[in-house]
């Protein structure tokens, strides 16, 4: 649960849809549900990298369109770091 809370904080400045942000869940779609400008996805990725101390490659970045996929990428990279 902590990753989703951190993610919620990271996403906060990028969305004006505060209600959808409050109700964020694994099923939330960043573009469709949170109305995030697609140009800002790269900024969110940079903020995620900084927060978790990970590096996200282009292929992984392309997957990060939903909360679920984003958490999966973060967990994968954290696991790689740990390994």
Which residues are at the interface with other proteins (CB under 8 A)? 13-14, 39-40, 42-43, 46
CB environment 1-16: b (16+ within 10 A), e (fewer): eebbebbeebbeebbe
Query: Nearer Cβ to other proteins, position 6 or 43?
Result: 43
> Minimum distance between the CB of residue 39 and other proteins, rounded to whole angstroms?
4
Classify 54 as helix, strand or coil: coil
Q: Which is nearer to other proteins, 36 or 67 (CB)?
A: 36
Q: How far is the CB of 4 from other proteins (least distance, A)?
A: 21
Nearest CB to other proteins, comparing residues 46 and 79: 46
Q: Under a CB-based contact definition with an 8 Å cutoff, are residues 55 and 46 in contact?
A: no
């Amino acid at each position: 649960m902590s990753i989703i809370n951190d993610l919620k904080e990271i996403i906060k400045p990028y969305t004006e849809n505060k209600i959808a942000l409050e109700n964020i869940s694994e099923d939330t779609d960043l573009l469709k549900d949170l109305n995030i400008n697609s140009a800002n996805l790269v900024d969110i990725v940079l903020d995620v990298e900084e927060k978790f101390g990970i590096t996200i490659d282009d292929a992984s970045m392309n997957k990060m369109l939903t909360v679920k996929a984003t958490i999966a990428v973060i967990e994968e990279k954290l696991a790689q770091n740990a390994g």
